[in-house]
């Protein structure tokens, strides 16, 4: 769809409008060439002042106020009338509405507000439209910003007015009626006082349905495009995916040392261990899903972290889990299910669980935490990155069929819980696990890594196929500086049953991988998938369009510039600024008073006090015995032996990996220093906090402490995870960072 935005001198909503309507361009008020309307589907006259409100000979001359009248003699009026003649949809917003009235294209008149003052506020509105022959309504909130917004008409004409939008609250102080928008009889010309372009994305789809109800093909396409756009925006802007609240702090972390091959920003961090080998390491949280469905939430947490590792071409050789649960009866049941889920997945895949810990506290009664780390071994020459760098590369889907599991899971993980939530209804947001299929996928991907058949690989985790494909292309753009894009056909995605196309794109079904490959390698790759009895499909290609284009068969459903998606994802949310916490709801010393941030040393002391003064119970539990801790025959020290550390044998280079963990850098480092001849290589972190309004001071202090110590000791952070909104009914958990340090014997 192509949109022309008419721009008069003095328009002050012109740029807001051109950003709101995609694929739009300006038509200057002196334009008279009607050929500019060729291929245009919509003309919009935005709001403004000067030219629209005043009549003058020259801008510096005297004037009189008469909103919309000046536009009568503007050359662009010919364009407007030609658009009406061609049945092109015309929309006037605020001052643009006034212009349409002055041009006699819409009935009635707009007069000075009853208060005689300019008014700007958000009002509840109800829109009426027809879709597929059925009358429908939609309620929303829209901003008004006007001084001449009082719509008037003769009483005898009131019944003749085609009203499509009205105010759903008392506006008698400003206006005589609740009329907010009207159209002509043919429903091709529309005028509205509220501003849809002002901070209201939910209304756009319904605005298109209103404007194009006489053009069902366009209405259907725009509704689909907007539906996709809303879903994609919700996911991309979620805290879980965008890190919009925390990335400004995370950027301060120390991430580089000579032995770091890959730092934060990929599926896993990678460090060089010599002898042509490297270690991939990652830690993730699966907190919200575990609260809803403890078994599946914890199990799929293991599955996701395993895929992050073998997506880099590495074979997983160990996992560790760090559990925080409450002390009430419900927490005991949830803990049992979660431990069984972790054991079920790890044991089936054949990756040893070599360590971790379990802590119990009242603070986790309604917000359990499940953090899982994974370590993988890879030859340096076999490392695979999550990028698509070459035009013409194939996008190959492999693994489980797609279902409706996990729809909006990332958005769900970016919100706090309430006591009145129906957990059974929310279980559709939690993925279902199949570790047997994961094992086949793991072996196939490791085989392809060894054969060097693939150019890129990405797990379809949070955000599903949407985020996997976007990340592949976006990283490719960053690495090559080329205008890369992709075409994806959702009809080619294997599904468990009939699904809405948008849900196919954003489903978070487990055990799926997206492969990037040169077409010349396609047959060999398919042979490997057939060998492991895996279902696969060629669902798309890498293009040079710069667009993210989604199809279902021949029908285009969605198109967006990759750089626009990147801008949407690259946001910083300053809604919640650093502030002190007050944990009055807990019966332990969790209170902090307002004070300025002190030195690192005093912050460190305060942080430790919070961690250890809150009635935390550290469990040496026999639960670990249900984990297979020795499969793979690398475990030198696992959970069956005393000590809060783990040791793995890396016989390929005749060295051992050492792992220590804790809440602070000092916890990890002090333990690591006990091992003679062991060099700390890196650290990964899982930062579990409550609602941002409670947590940002503590979060920034934890990151500051970590950054300073990592720089001081030359130990880089190569990856991590932030989990916010661990909160129920406005009660946040205590700050719970989990740090895991890895060292290697000389």
Which of 406, 398, 500, 373 is CA-nearest to residue 459? 398
Where does the pLDDT of residue 160 fall: very low under 50, low under 70, confident under 90, or very high at 90 and above?
low
- Considering the chain, what percentage of its residues have pLDDT values greater than 90? 71
Range among 213-217, 221-225, 540-544 rated most confident? 540-544
Q: How is residue 420 written in tokens?
A: 């009145």
- 397-406 pLDDT, tens digit per residue, is 999 999 988 7
Strands 119-131 and 162-167: antiparallel
What is the per-residue pLDDT for 432? 85
User: What is the structure's pLDDT at 563?
Assistant: 87
High-pLDDT (> 70) share of the chain, %: 88
Task: Give, as one character, the DSSP assignment of residue 541.
Answer: E
How many other CB atoms are found less than 10 A from the CB of residue 584?
A: 9
Confidence at residue 588, expressed as pLDDT on a 0 to 100 scale? 34
Residue for token pair 């669902």: 539
DSSP for 255-311, please give it. Answer: ---TTEEE-BTBSSEEEEEETTEEEEEEEEE-HHHHHH-HHHHHHHHHHHHHHHHHT
Q: What is the pLDDT of residue 711?
A: 97
Tokens of 215: 């053009």
At residue 590 the predicted structure's pLDDT band, cuts being 50, 70 and 90, is: very low
Nearest to 637 by CA among 352, 274, 340: 352
Which range has the worst mean pLDDT, 49-63, 380-394, 525-539, 685-699?
49-63
pLDDT digits (tens, 9 = 90+) for 415-435: 777 777 776 766 666 778 999
Q: What is the CA radius of gyration of the chain?
A: 30
- For residue 272, give every residue at least 6 positions away whose Cβ sits within 8 Å of its Cβ, in sequence order, or none: 259, 260, 261, 278, 380
Phi-psi region of 289 (alpha: psi -120 to 50; beta: other; left: phi over 0): alpha
Residues 6+ apart with CB under 8 A from 466: 232, 235, 505, 506
pLDDT digits (tens, 9 = 90+) for 24-61: 999 999 999 999 999 999 999 998 764 556 777 777 77
User: How crowded is residue 152: how many other Cβ atoms within 10 Å of its Cβ?
Assistant: 12
- Domains, the chain: 3-214 (3.40.50.880), 245-286+316-378+623-746 (3.30.1330.10), 384-571 (3.90.650.10)
Instruction: Give me the helices (H) in 313-421, please.
Output: 329-349, 409-412
Q: Residue 461: what pLDDT?
A: 87
Lowest mean pLDDT among 139-148, 419-428, 602-611, 636-645: 602-611
Query: Judging by DSSP bridges, how do beta strands 353-360 and 456-459 pair with one another?
Result: unpaired
Query: Average pLDDT in the 332-358 region?
Result: 95
The verdict on whether 669 is a catalytic residue reads: no
Helix (H, G, I), strand (E, B) or coil at 359: strand
pLDDT of 10 > 80? The answer is: no
Strands 42-45, 24-28: pairing is: unpaired
Whether residue 590 contacts residue 583, with contact meaning beta carbons closer than 8 Å, is answered with yes
pLDDT 10s digits, 349-372: 999 999 999 999 999 999 999 999
* pLDDT score of 740 more than 60: yes
Tokens of 125: 């509105």
Catalytic residue among 29, 148, 195, 286: 286
Mean pLDDT across 613-624: 53
Taking the CA atoms of residue 526, residue 532, residue 537 and residue 540 in that order, the dihedral angle to the nearest 10 degrees is -70
More confident site: 444 or 243? 444
Closest by CA to 655, choosing from 140, 93, 275, 156, is: 275
pLDDT for residue 541 is more than 90: yes
Residue 441, CB half-sphere, CA atoms under 13 Å: how many? 31
Model confidence at 558: pLDDT above 70: yes
Q: Are 737 and 687 in contact (CB under 8 A)?
A: yes
HSE on the CB side for 714, CA within 13 Å? 4
Instruction: Look over the chain and give the mean of its residue pLDDT values, rounded to a whole number.
Output: 88
Strand 731-732 relative to strand 727-728: parallel, antiparallel, unpaired?
antiparallel
**End-to-end Cα spacing for the chain:** 63
Tokens 């007069």 sit on residue: 111
Tens-digit pLDDT profile for residues 641-656: 888 999 999 999 999 9
Confidence bin at 564 (pLDDT 50/70/90): confident
pLDDT at position 243 is 86
Q: Please, which residues bridge with residue 637 across strands?
A: 647
Helix (H, G, I), strand (E, B) or coil at 474: helix
Range in 5-14, 62-71, 122-131, 436-445 with the lowest mean pLDDT: 62-71
**What does the pLDDT look like over 650-703, one tens digit per residue?**
999 999 999 999 999 999 999 999 999 999 999 999 999 999 888 899 999 999
**pLDDT at site 599:** 40
Q: Is the pLDDT of residue 614 over 50?
A: no
- Bridge partner list, 151: 110
Return d(Cα 142, Cα 480) in angstroms, integer: 42
Which region, left, alpha or beta, applies to residue 546 given φ > 0 means left and ψ of -120 to 50 means alpha? left
With beta carbons less than 8 A apart as the criterion, state whether 197 and 145 touch. no
Per-residue pLDDT for 523 more than 80? yes
Q: Give the list of residues 6+ apart from residue 265 with CB closer than 8 angstroms, or none.
A: none
- Using an 8 Å Cβ cutoff, are 163 and 128 in contact? yes
Q: What is the pLDDT of residue 222?
A: 81
Q: Which position among 29, 148, 240, 663 bears the catalytic label?
A: 240
Q: Has 288 been annotated as catalytic?
A: no
Give the model's pLDDT for residue 9.
83
Indicate the DSSP class of residue 402. B
pLDDT, residue 317, reads 98
3-state secondary structure of 155: helix
pLDDT of residue 176: 85
């Amino acid at each position: 769809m192509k949109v022309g935005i008419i721009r008069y001198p003095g328009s002050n909503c012109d740029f807001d409008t051109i950003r709101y309507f995609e694929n739009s361009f300006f038509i200057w008020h002196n334009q008279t060439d009607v050929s500019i309307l060729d291929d245009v589907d919509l003309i919009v006259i935005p709001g403004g002042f000067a030219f629209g409100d005043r009549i003058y000979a020259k801008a510096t001359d005297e004037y009189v106020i008469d909103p919309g009248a000046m536009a009568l003699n503007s050359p662009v009026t010919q364009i407007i009338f030609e658009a009406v003649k061609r049945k092109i949809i015309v929309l006037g917003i605020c001052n643009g509405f006034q212009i349409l009235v002055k041009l006699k294209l819409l009935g009635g008149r707009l007069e000075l507000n009853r208060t005689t003052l300019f008014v700007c506020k958000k009002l509840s509105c109800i829109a009426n439209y027809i879709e597929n022959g059925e009358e429908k309504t939609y309620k929303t909130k829209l901003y008004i910003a006007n001084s001449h917004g009082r719509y008037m008409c003769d009483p005898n004409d009131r019944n003749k007015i085609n009203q499509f939008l009205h105010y759903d609250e008392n506006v008698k102080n400003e206006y005589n009626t609740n009329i907010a928008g009207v159209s002509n009889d043919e429903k091709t010309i529309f005028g509205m006082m509220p501003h849809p372009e002002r901070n209201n994305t939910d209304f756009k789809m319904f605005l298109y349905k209103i404007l194009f109800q006489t053009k069902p093909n366009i209405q259907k396409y725009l509704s689909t495009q907007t539906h996709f756009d809303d879903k994609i925006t919700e996911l991309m802007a979620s805290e879980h995916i965008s890190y919009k609240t925390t990335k400004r702090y995370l950027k301060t972390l120390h991430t580089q040392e000579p032995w770091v091959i890959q730092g934060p920003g990929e599926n896993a961090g990678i460090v060089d261990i010599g002898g042509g080998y490297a270690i991939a390491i990652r830690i993730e949280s699966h907190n919200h899903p575990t609260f809803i469905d403890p078994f599946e939430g914890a199990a799929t947490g293991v599955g996701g972290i395993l895929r992050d590792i073998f997506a880099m071409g590495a074979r997983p050789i160990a996992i560790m889990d760090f559990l925080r649960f409450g002390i009430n009866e419900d927490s005991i049941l949830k803990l049992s299910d979660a431990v069984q889920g972790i054991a079920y997945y790890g044991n089936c895949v054949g990756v040893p669980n070599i360590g971790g810990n379990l802590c119990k506290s009242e603070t986790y009664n309604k917000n359990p935490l499940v953090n899982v780390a994974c370590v993988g071994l890879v030859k340096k020459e076999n490392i695979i990155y999550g990028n698509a760098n070459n035009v013409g590369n194939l996008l190959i889907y492999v693994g489980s069929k797609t279902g409706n599991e996990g729809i909006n899971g990332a958005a769900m993980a970016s919100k706090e819980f309430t006591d009145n939530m129906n957990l059974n209804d929310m279980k559709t947001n939690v993925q279902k696990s199949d570790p047997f299929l994961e094992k086949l996928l793991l072996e196939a991907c490791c085989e392809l890594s060894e054969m060097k058949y693939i150019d890129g690989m990405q797990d379809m985790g949070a955000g599903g196929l949407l985020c996997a494909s976007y990340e592949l292309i976006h990283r490719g753009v960053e690495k090559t500086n080329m205008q890369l894009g992709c075409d994806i056909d959702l009809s080619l995605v294997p599904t468990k049953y009939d699904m809405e196309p948008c849900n196919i794109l954003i489903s978070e079904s487990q055990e799926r991988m997206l492969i990037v490959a040169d077409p010349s390698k396609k047959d060999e790759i398919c042979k490997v998938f057939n060998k492991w009895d895996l279902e696969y499909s060629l669902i798309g290609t890498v293009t040079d369009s710069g667009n993210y284009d989604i199809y279902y068969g021949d029908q285009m459903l969605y198109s967006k510039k990759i750089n626009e998606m990147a801008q949407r994802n690259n946001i910083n949310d300053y809604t919640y600024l650093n502030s002190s916490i007050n944990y009055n709801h807990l019966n332990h010393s969790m209170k902090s008073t307002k004070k300025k941030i002190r030195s690192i040393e005093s912050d460190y002391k305060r942080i430790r006090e919070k961690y250890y003064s809150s009635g935390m119970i550290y469990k040496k539990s026999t639960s670990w015995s249900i984990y297979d801790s020795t499969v793979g025959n690398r475990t030198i020290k696992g959970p069956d032996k005393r000590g809060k550390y783990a040791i793995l044998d890396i016989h390929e280079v005749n060295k051992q990996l050492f792992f220590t963990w804790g809440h602070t850098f000092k916890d990890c480092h002090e333990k690591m220093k006990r091992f003679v001849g062991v060099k700390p290589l890196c650290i990964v972190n899982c930062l579990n906090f409550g609602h941002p309004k409670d947590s940002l001071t503590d979060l920034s202090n934890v990151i500051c402490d970590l950054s300073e110590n990592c720089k001081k000791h030359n130990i880089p952070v190569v990856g991590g995870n932030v989990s916010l909104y661990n909160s129920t009914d406005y009660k946040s958990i205590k700050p719970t960072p989990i740090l895991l340090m890895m060292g290697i014997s000389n």
